Amino acid sequence: SLTSGTQERVARANWPSRGETETGMSRLALSDTDKQARDWFVDTCESLGCEVTIDEMGNTFAVRPGLKDGPPTFAGSHLDTQPTGGRYDGILGVTAAVEMLRVLNDNWIETTYPVGVVNWTNEEGARFPISMVASGVWAGEIPLATAHNLQEVGGGTATMKSELQRIGYLGSKPATHKDIPMAAHFELHIEQGPILEAEHRKVGVVKGVQAYRWFTVTVSGRDCHTGTTSFAHRADAMLAASRMIVFSHRAASARGALASTGILTLKPGSTNTVPGLVKFSLDIRAPKDETVQEVEDACKQAFMNIANGINVAGLLEGGTESDRHCTVEWKTDSVSPAINFHHDCIQCVKDASEDLFAEKTENLTKIMVSGAGHDSVYTSKRVPTSMIFVPCRDGVSHNPAEYSTPEDCAIGAQVLMGAVLHYDRL
């Protein structure tokens, strides 16, 4: 069986390792450490006999020739992480794909058509705030200029283009599916949720991804003195933002959706000055596009009302609102519609699971929808796509405590390779 060697190598490959696998990873897209990981990826793939292409978005494609020419079947994911992320989110999908190359070589396996491995740029959207932006450009869904001009969060002036240039990953190949064709795209990923673990299942056969949208909400009030300004005279942007965040949670909750604020900045930032300006991010998700739209509409309306001191479902007290003279501005940063993956690819993942689990397949696998976005969302717009999930402890992700056992990682790698080989034979 390939499983035991693979298991060991995949566990080791969560690179760069600093001690045990249970600690986290901070490798923001296009940072110096991202460059290190990219260099490792390029060197390793070349040493395994692949030809490597880097496009204008820094997406890096490694191709292993097949018996015949034609678009390669790709396996891939991303090497960037959250500011305080884990060692599995994305990384597992790339390292397992590299492992696939090794196993094919070690076993002298020749595929009908080429197979490829891809590392997509800035999947997280943590540093440059559009997730999956580089696969989005490849798919023709996001303009190159939008992506290149995207500025890093936190007030820095670096753009994706300036950082691609700085670390030497601004490739010359046009970032488009037309110039870099694929037959199909498979992505192994940790589930990032608690379901597989809770149900003691080993593999998630991912049939689609839920919808989500990102917004930046700007609340403008007026700086004033906290000690001398009566509530009636205030335009308290922080109080307004607080009510908005509470409301967004309520609106999502009522519709089985999710709403989250991960970034918030205020000005001027002094204990005794009521803030006149607050900006915050809003991430809304739901299985259906219509539900996301409903939550968005409800928030838009309610945020306006909050800014104008109109009572919203018991959130305001009537009469003493300090935030009623605010204004609110609403910017859509990105839209990722609900996605259904391709029947053929889903079937290949099922087949590969069956190869491994035989009669236990039904108990050990689960057909499921992803809560998180993945580069597979964008590849699926252009080529048949599916994903494989493996369990992660407590469903924890975007956290240094993120963890999947070496056994589960190896099972995922095995199914990933199996799915690619099944597709190659189609």
- Quick check: 337 binds a second copy (CB under 8 A)? no
When binding is defined by CB under 6 A, the residue of 56, 80, 89, 402 that contacts ligand URP is 89
Considering beta carbons, is residue 92 or 100 the nearer one to a second copy? 92
Site for a second copy in 133-172 (CB under 8 A): 153-154
Q: Where does this chain touch ligand URP (CB under 6 A) — which range of 6-14, 35-43, 123-131, 297-305?
A: 123-131
**Nearest approach, Cβ of residue 184 and ligand URP (Å):** 20
CA distance linking residue 135 with residue 148, whole number of Å:
13
Site for a second copy in 47-106 (CB under 8 A): 82-84
Considering beta carbons, is residue 129 or 418 the nearer one to a second copy? 129
- Quick check: 193 binds ligand URP (CB under 6 A)? no
Site for a second copy in 376-395 (CB under 8 A): 395
CA distance linking residue 175 with residue 55, whole number of Å:
5
Considering beta carbons, is residue 114 or 193 the nearer one to a second copy? 193
**C-alpha 39 chain-centroid distance:** 22
- Quick check: 229 binds a second copy (CB under 8 A)? yes
Considering beta carbons, is residue 44 or 131 the nearer one to a second copy? 131
When binding is defined by CB under 8 A, the residue of 233, 331, 343, 360 that contacts a second copy is 233
- Quick check: 369 binds a second copy (CB under 8 A)? no
Considering beta carbons, is residue 116 or 136 the nearer one to ligand URP? 136
194 binds, among ligand URP, a second copy, none (CB under 5 to 8 A by kind): a second copy
Query: Site size for a second copy, by CB under 8 A?
Result: 75
CA distance linking residue 334 with residue 69, whole number of Å:
37
Cis before 16 (ω within 30): yes
**CA-to-CA dists, residue 234 to 229, 238, 303, angstroms:** 7, 11, 17
By DSSP bridging, strand 327-336 and strand 273-274 are: unpaired
Considering beta carbons, is residue 162 or 399 the nearer one to a second copy? 399
151 binds, among ligand URP, a second copy, none (CB under 5 to 8 A by kind): none
Site for a second copy in 100-139 (CB under 8 A): 124-126, 129, 131
Site for ligand URP in 267-286 (CB under 6 A): 272
By DSSP bridging, strand 184-190 and strand 73-78 are: parallel
Considering beta carbons, is residue 312 or 352 the nearer one to a second copy? 312
Binding mask 282-321 for a second copy (x = CB under 8 A): -x-x----------------------------xx-x--x-
**C-alpha 35 chain-centroid distance:** 19
Site for ligand URP in 357-396 (CB under 6 A): 372-374
**Nearest approach, Cβ of residue 393 and a second copy (Å):** 13
- Quick check: 261 binds a second copy (CB under 8 A)? yes
CA distance linking residue 127 with residue 337, whole number of Å:
22
Site for ligand URP in 306-325 (CB under 6 A): none
- Quick check: 193 binds a second copy (CB under 8 A)? yes
320 binds, among ligand URP, a second copy, none (CB under 5 to 8 A by kind): a second copy
Site for ligand URP in 216-235 (CB under 6 A): 225, 227
**What residues line the site for ligand URP (CB under 6 A)?**
89, 123-125, 131, 225, 227, 272, 372-374
